[in-house]
Chains A and B, each alone.
Chain A
Amino acid sequence: MPLSTSSFERTIPDRPWPRLALVAASLALLAAIAWEARVRTWGYAPTLNDTSDLWAEQRGRVQPDSYVIIGDSRPHFDLDLDELERGLGQRPIQLALDGSCAYPVLADLAADGNFHGTVICSIVPGMFFAPGGPLIANSEKALKRYHHWTPAQRASHQLAMFAEEHLAFLKAEELDLPSLLARLPISNRAAVHLGPALPPYFNVIDRERRARMWEQAALAGPLQTRIKEGWIPLFTPPPPPSYLPQDVFLKGMGAAVEKRFHDTAAAVQKLRARGGRVVFVRFPNSGELRKHEDRLTPRIGAWTRLLNETKAPGIYFSDHPELAAFDCPEWSHLSAPDSVEFTKRLVPYITRALSTPAGG
């Protein structure tokens, strides 16, 4: 019986392997250096990628009494953690996720029996009341990573952060192969149903997930124009799918929105019952995007009703001249310097809102 000798050996092709390996590795290294130099001439600099791992790491830092920021990209860009710490007496955890709906994260915090801290939740009605799709999927992906984060993923994340802090070409969703392929100028069929394109890269992120708008995006120019052009299609609800009658689709959407109101109120109530607090914030927007959002999701139908049903305090930027004084250069987010000043001015409103009794 074959226990003493191996009966199978793979063939090794007869080639000058050491030389080939050396040449391939050297050429690949040279190509990487050349690519790094090239992307730096385009203005890219090393920055972290906003991955599910980075989010999970921050979620893991949440303490029972933490201040936690959740929501979409607006609180991500517009809030400065140093100013919040100075004003609130505690450094908040940044859990806002670009292109996401905050509800799954709010529900997750409500379900976490240990947590009785403070949630600063951004409301962009078109995103918060999304019944499904990528906005929900982005939040759920991050939550899944947090709840099932393996030791191997944690270790890879540490190595990835080290690399990303030194190499500009590691900017995912902008300079990786899928992004480069997606930018190929190939026209599509006339009748194809495709989702709107996401805006190009325009922020830098640190290990606490503090996002700052890229300087070039804050200045009038081609990049800013490209970003602006992306918002209106992104903030326009997709048409009903061809395979569902419009009334059935609209009825389903209506039911989903009603359910979101109900579930949000339940989550807020659950948090509050443990001593937790929630404050909703409507962050600034500008230009055509503000008009578009106000037309699609009028304040009374979403914001006012949300505050009524949850009995949570809310801060609507346009109610307060000192918060409404900012202009979003690309219509949706504040520039990095403005985000510091905006946060400084927002803190007293947060403090005041949190000291208001529920429903007051």
Chain B
Amino acid sequence: MLFNSLIFVVFFVVVVGTYWTLQSWSARKNLLLAASYLFYGAWNPPFALLLFATTAVDFFLGGRIAAAATPATRKAWTTASVVTNLSMLGFFKYGNFLLLNFQWLLARVGVVYQPPHLDVFLPIGISFYTFHSLSYTLDVYRGVCAPTRSLRDFTLAVSFFPQLVAGPIVRAADFLPQLVTPPVLKPGQFAWGLLLMTLGLFQKTVLADTLLAGAADTVFGYGGPLATLDAWTGVLAFAGQIFFDFAGYSTCAIGAALCLGFHLKDNFRFPYAAIGFSDFWRRWHISLSTFLRDFLYIPLGGNRSGAIMAGVNLLIVMFIGGLWHGAAWTFVVWGLIHGAFLVIERMLRTVVGEAAWAKSTVVRVLSGLATYAIVCLAWVFFRAADFPSASRLVNAMVGALAKGDAILSTREILQVGIVTALLLLAHWRLRDTSIEATVARMPRWLLGATWTAMLCTILLNQGSGNAFIYFQF
């Protein structure tokens, strides 16, 4: 079920209405669990079984990890959880990719092998719920989270519908405590949740789908050389589209959870105002970057074994991070570009240190714009269908082509230019604050007018119920 669909409106009204009518906390949790499985099963009912299987395995293993008598046994049960989860993810998401690469490797040594094409349908949101579930066993292993004795509560923690298919990646350690006692709505919490849902839908349907997606699709789908202006417009459009699409989903999720009395952490903090790549990853898909930090970078040794190993670890983490997004080498290159710039940034920091000039406004703004430009360049590899397409686009962006085709209308260029300018302006204005603090300071009339305008444009937009980009990951 999509947030931007009519059936979700009906679903949400019925679930929220029934939820707050029920007196028993246990009955409310049962309702949420049933609603979450209905929400997920409405895509493809059999895949709800897979979701439950993942959950049940980790519930069992979480208990075994906690009860293990020796560190070796704890490690063995944790390894079992990691292997089970990653095998499931590997089969559904990376099966064909692995076979194709195996075929390529064999061909290098002269062996002709024709692998069967696995006709596997990717379960929606598998990368997200695998990490939701896996975070539980890993946190039990780390001693951050106590094992729950309630399969119902754990199943709800993994499948809670607002965050189920596209994040934020909510850790069981953050969610299970919220299931202990019934939530009490703070004054204004419900309406604030609705406003966040409106904002999320506006970001997705109006900004991402209507104002930006067209230019991005046209440019990334073009088979020939592009004019520099068109190439940049398409890439800036995608940079905005993927932010509004994904941040829009997270904002909807946070808003929907608030309406039900739950609190989910931010997944984005104005990332296009980041100064440097480490700052970017503190602001973009925060739930993934902290997951990778806690469960991969730190266990690998983090920066405890010297600068070189820290750099290697960063590259490994970003390699995995790239691959998490999709089974293609273009995603890996995207991750490695980020990894490389994270390493370069660490090196620069040791050279520049705490120099006063580095903290001047001009340098900060220029560094921020440079970060944004490189992030955009990296998006080319994220979005392009293959390396030749990416290379063609990068060449057009840097003006390396003698002649390129103009394929975007002036209206599309203006749309992308205006939205991008406003996006950057908003991120820079808000980079050191929060949406809550900003709303608290807004004049009432402006807040009411903004909310009304978002509702009106969502209605006018109508929308075609496009899926969120991150569903495919």
Which A positions have Cβ atoms within 8 angstroms of B?
1-18, 20-21, 23-25, 27-28, 31-32, 35, 51, 150-153, 155-156, 159-160, 163, 169-170, 172, 176-178, 180-182, 184, 186-189, 191-194, 241-244
Contacts and interface: CB of A to CB of B under 8 A. Distances in A.
A15 B441 CA distance: 9
B460 interface: yes
Given A20-B191, A24-B452, A181-B415, A5 B5 contact: no
Nearest to B196: A10
A150 B5 CA distance: 13
Contact of A156 (B6, B258, B462): B6
A186 B414 contact: yes
B355 interface: no
B455 A25 contact: yes
A164 to B, nearest CB: 10
A156 B5 contact: yes
Contacts of A242: 224-225, 403, 405
A155 to B, nearest CB: 4
B409 A186 contact: yes
Interface of B: 1-2, 5-8, 10, 41-45, 143-146, 148, 173-174, 176-178, 180, 186-192, 194-195, 206, 210-211, 214, 223-225, 254, 258, 263-265, 403, 405-411, 414-415, 434, 436-437, 439-440, 444, 447-448, 451-452, 455-457, 459-465
22 contacts: A1-B145, A2-B144, A2-B177, A3-B176, A13-B440, A15-B440, A20-B444, A20-B451, A31-B456, A31-B459, A152-B1, A152-B8, A152-B43, A155-B7, A169-B460, A176-B462, A178-B214, A186-B409, A188-B410, A192-B406, A241-B223, A243-B223
B177 A5 contact: yes
B42 A155 contact: yes
Given A8-B265, A177-B460, A181-B210, A188 B42 contact: no
Given A177-B457, A192-B407, 8 more contacts: A11-B436, A13-B439, A21-B194, A31-B456, A178-B210, A178-B461, A186-B410, A242-B405
A194 B45 CA distance: 42
Contacts of B6: 156, 159-160, 163
A18 B214 CA distance: 37
Nearest to A244: B224
Contact of A3 (B41, B146, B195, B447): B146
Contacts of B456: 27-28, 31-32
Contacts of B190: 17
Nearest to B185: A12
A17 B448 contact: no
Contact of B180 (A3, A8, A194): A3
A150 B41 CA distance: 9
Contacts of B447: 15, 20
Nearest to B225: A243
A5 B179 CA distance: 9
A352 B178 CA distance: 72
Given A28-B455, A172-B464, A12 B436 contact: yes
Nearest to B173: A2
B452 A23 contact: yes
A241 B452 contact: no
B178 A12 contact: no
A199 B278 CA distance: 50
Contact of B7 (A21, A35, A152): A152
A131 B210 CA distance: 28
Contact of A152 (B42, B174, B264, B455): B42
A1 B144 contact: yes
Nearest to A53: B465
Given A10-B263, A23-B452, A31-B456, A177 B462 contact: yes
A4, A10, A27, A172: residue with the most chain B Cβ atoms closer than 10 Å: A10
Contact of B444 (A10, A15, A18): A15
A1, A31, A188, A241: residue with the most chain B Cβ atoms closer than 10 Å: A1
A100 B101 CA distance: 37
Contacts of A187: 410
A17 to B, nearest CB: 4
Contact of A192 (B194, B265, B409, B434): B409
B10, B191, B206, B444: residue with the most chain A Cβ atoms closer than 10 Å: B191
Contacts of A15: 188, 439-440, 444, 447
A176 B464 CA distance: 10
A21 B186 CA distance: 16
Contacts of B405: 193, 241-243
B457 A151 contact: no
Nearest to B266: A10
Given A150-B42, A193-B407, A242-B224, A7 B462 contact: no
Contacts of B223: 241, 243
B407 A10 contact: no
B143 to A, nearest CB: 7
A110 B45 CA distance: 28
A191 B410 contact: no
Given A13-B440, A28-B456, A6 B224 contact: no
Nearest to B465: A156
Nearest to A192: B406
A70 to B, nearest CB: 23
Given A152-B5, A186-B410, A11 B174 contact: no
B344 to A, nearest CB: 34
A184 B206 CA distance: 17
Contact of B148 (A3, A9, A155, A172): A3
Nearest to B1: A152
B186 A12 contact: yes
A51, A152, A159, A160: residue with the most chain B Cβ atoms closer than 10 Å: A152
Contact of A13 (B178, B192, B206, B403): B192
Contacts of B5: 152-153, 156
B407 A21 contact: no
Contacts of A4: 177, 180
A243 to B, nearest CB: 3
Contact of B188 (A13, A177, A182, A189): A13
A176 B457 CA distance: 9
A105 B210 CA distance: 29
